Amino acid sequence: MDTWRHYLRLRLLDASAEHGPKALAQAHFDYRSRAIRGLKAPPARSERVILMVGGQYGGSPLSHTLGELFVAEAFSPLAQQRALAMLDDIKAAMRQRITQLPWMSEPTKQLALAKLAAMRAKIGAPAAWRPYDGLALRADDYLGNLLRINAWATADRLAELDKPVDRERWNTSPHIVNAFAAGGNQIIFPAGILQPPFFDARADDASNYGGIGMVIGHEITHHFDDRGRRFDAAGNLRDWWQPADAGAYQARADRVAALYGGYEPVPGVRINGRLTLGENISDMAGVQIAYDGLQRALARQRAAGQPAPLVEGATPEQRFFYANATIWRTKYRTEALVDQLRTDSHSPGRWRVLAPLTHTPAFALAFGCKPGDGMVAGDPVSVW
Ligand SMILES: [Zn+2]
């Protein structure tokens, strides 16, 4: 019990240090931010407070309070409509890919297609806002508030034990710029990511499919990546694969792991192909089914006698790939990049573009690349 007490005390101090007395906050910054991630100075207090309330990637317990304000200001029903239309095209593209997979047997294909059909999407914002009943905040007790918020959020989650799963629940606030493949065979696109550069209601289809469309393809594929494939159409952990198909999948996944494991973003530090495998499989298939989805949209426009024009001299296919490269633009300090390579399940942004596009024949076609060019794989790696 003593060991547990020491451990939990350490975790509590570490988790709350940045909001505590100055000496503690400074020690926490020096270690967590300066030494590990190369930051030169802590963010301004205003920025820290917004992060505390709103969270950064997944959201804090209070984040829905900020999300409600964000949605009122920045979310349009048009964005939701167009995202739904893209989702239809991209799901149809995935359906076609599964149907045509040369390495998968018919019984497994049928279950994969059933899983895809059962996949539920949440786009934009929750239908109802979460009540914060029972949470008491005090204007003169910042750290105490943080502890009360955590205690409230923990009790809120524990109260769900033994109850049926609430499939309407949003664990993430809608203002977050991120997307998720969640339990229960769900994919989630908060209003925060339905904004430029991912999505723009005034932009042409090509750039939207290359932006948020690729993210949609990525999240769909997560339910078929090396972990996601172990869950069935209802989101339950159940093996629905014919053994030979599982073996064929594994062989393809191994090629993806080897491919990314060969990249060395920082001299001496390679991408960990195993740690990042699920994300990389989802990136590779995600960009390809988004591209196929765009082709469906373009075919509809041609059929309607309104073929997509060149924009700034670029074809829709070229603009799709520009948008894809744009959404992954990222700047890292070297320390932060090394930290990401060692601990994060995502490959760094630059390689989220280079690797998938090198193995996407449509990319070479769009830009007239020749065999032997830097971004043309001789023997493209593909899982889905
Ligand atoms: Zn992902």
CATH of residue 249's domain is 3.40.390.10
Written as six digits, the tokens of 179 are 């997307």
Distance 345 CA to ligand 1 centre (A): 8
Q: In what order do the strands lie in the sheet with 186-190?
A: 120-124, 186-190, 180-182
Structural domain includes residue 375: no
Residue 180 belongs to what H/E stretch?
Answer: strand 180-182
Do 24 and 105 have their domain in common? Answer: no
Do 312 and 259 have their domain in common? Answer: yes
Do 180 and 37 have their domain in common? Answer: no
Sign of the C-alpha dihedral, residues 295, 322, 217, 373? Answer: positive
What is the pLDDT at residue 50?
84
Do 359 and 276 have their domain in common? Answer: yes
pTM, entire model:
0.93
Structural domain includes residue 142: no
Q: Which domain holds residue 21?
A: 2-42
Distance 234 CA to ligand 1 centre (A): 20
Active-site amino acid positions: 219, 283
Structural domain includes residue 197: yes
Give mean pLDDT in consecutive 10-residue pieces for the chain, a chain of 384 residues: 96 88 92 92 86 78 90 88 94 98 98 98 91 91 90 91 90 92 95 94 93 98 97 97 98 98 98 98 98 97 94 96 97 95 97 98 97 95 95
Do 37 and 82 have their domain in common? Answer: no
Do 262 and 360 have their domain in common? Answer: yes
Do 109 and 211 have their domain in common? Answer: yes
| Strand residue runs (E) in 79-144 | 120-124
Number of domains in the chain: 2
Give CA–CA dist 287/381, Å, rounded: 13
Distance 260 CA to ligand 1 centre (A): 15
Do 32 and 104 have their domain in common? Answer: no
Distance 76 CA to ligand 1 centre (A): 25
What is the pLDDT at residue 126?
92
